[in-house]
Amino acid sequence: MGTRPLISLIYISAMTVCLGLAACAVVNQERFGKLPTGDRLGRIQQSPHYRDGKFRNLVPTPKFSTDDGMMSVIWSGIFDRAERLTPDRSVPTVKTDLKALSARSPQKDTVVWMGHSSWYIQAAGKQILIDPIFSKSAAPFSFLNKAFDGTNIYTADDMPRIDCLLISHDHWDHLDYPTIMALRSKVKQVICPLGIGAYFQHWGYPKENIREGDWHDKITLGGDVVVHVLPARHYSGRLFKENKTLWAGFAVETHEHRIFFSGDSGYGSHFSQIGKAFDGFDLVMLDCGQYDPRWAYIHMTPKEAVQAARDLGAKAFIPAHVGRFTIANHSWDEPFKLLAEDSDDYPFRLLTPKIGGPVILDAEPSQQFSCWWEATGKCPEAEQSEGDL
């Protein structure tokens, strides 16, 4: 071998080693968490939904519904971007004082949308937080998947004492490391699907405060509140290994109300099964943004979400997984526009609060909400006013 090929080989080898070390440094960062091992893994292996080293959906659910796969998604994300993926103005919001709400009206069942799939729920005097994202991005690195202007209105300091933190799965736009760490001193307990507890324990949450559930498990918060861990049609994974932890939706049930959150989920028969088991819901929050024909089985279109709300026997429906981040190649407000087009024909009320706006369950039929995604804030047929306390 001559000198020049030898130098080239040494250079390539050195670059390979450097890239490998850099990759190791990245994936070993705390934000990536830790997958389940030991007794936690042993419990996972007993789950009927875990086979051949992975969790499985109730029905076959390929991640991609076309043959194009990941390369098509990456190519489209770079070169084939739709118009108006992000708002051209600051998103209008309403910042409800959650500490005052919990102190002044602890028994007033209220749901506050915090953008995307983040929710604050006050139910029978309990304070519940679902999939909170207080960061300015929902990704492993801050320059990716940035939040829309105006939507970062809450921080951990704005939260009252949290009786229960619910996490639906481990994707970056649902399990946000900086937010989880900022909340640690305020959270009494965590309820999550099987395997997710490994992240929390690795991040310093006491093991005794972490309660993991399989689909159809129910966990009592104390008093009048029960949380049900329910099936969703999706997948999990924060880096290369997928489906090592479970994904789920939740029902929050009291003597007065039943509330359902789908988590990330494609459409499926599980919605009708859940609707029958609970005899309907007062309010549902359903995944209906970030849809794409290339991943048709793991997220719902607005039309599918409407059918899911019907299947669930919903009295009222709030769109979820929309309004704060761009993940799919459709205009940011398309889900709201499509849902509003036929809302008069729905057997439930479509509720469209601004980020931070309260929905009061007992007062919900009299609350009205604007079409805030429109530049004028007015709905096509009638002007409405934003609901308030």
Domain holding 255, by residue range, is: 98-366
Here the tokens at position 362 are 């007992």
Compute the average pLDDT of residues 245-254. Answer: 98
| 35 part of a folded domain | no
- Residue pair 129/136 in contact (Cβ under 8 Å)? The answer is no
85 vs 292: CA distance, rounded Å: 13
Q: Taking 90 as the threshold, does the pLDDT of residue 105 lie above it? A: no
Question: Does the pLDDT of residue 88 top 80, yes or no?
Answer: yes
CATH number of the domain to which 177 belongs: 3.60.15.10
What confidence score (pLDDT) does residue 377 get? 81
Residue 147 resides in a domain:
yes
Question: Which regions of the chain does DSSP assign to beta strands (E)?
Answer: 50-51, 54-55, 110-113, 119-123, 126-130, 164-166, 190-193, 210-213, 218-222, 225-230, 249-253, 258-261, 283-287, 316-320, 349-350, 358-360
Quick: pLDDT tens for 209-223: 999 999 999 999 987
Within a domain: residue 237?
Answer: yes
- Domain presence at residue 93: no
Assess if residue 128 is contained within a domain: yes
User: What gap in Å lies between CA 352 and CA 120, rounded to an integer?
Assistant: 16
| Residue partners of 189: CB distance under 8 A and separation at least 6 | 163, 164, 165, 209, 210, 211, 221
Q: What's the predicted TM-score (pTM) here?
A: 0.90
- Is residue 295 in a domain? yes
Span 12-29, average pLDDT: 44
Number of structural domains the chain divides into: 1
Q: Cα separations (Å) of 215 from 56, 184, 230, 303, 362? A: 12, 26, 5, 26, 29
Residue that is written with structure tokens 């250079």 in the block:
11
User: Does some domain include residue 84?
Assistant: no
**Edge-first strand listing for the sheet containing 283-287:** 218-222, 225-230, 249-253, 258-261, 283-287, 316-320, 349-350
Q: Which of 59, 52, 78 is nearest to 242 (CA)?
A: 52
- Asked if residue 335 belongs to a domain, the reply is yes
Q: Could you tell me which residue, 231 or 367, shows the higher pLDDT?
A: 231
- Among residues 297, 318, 300, which one has the least CA distance to residue 364? 318
Question: What pLDDT score does 29 carry?
Answer: 75
pLDDT at residue 350 is higher than 50: yes
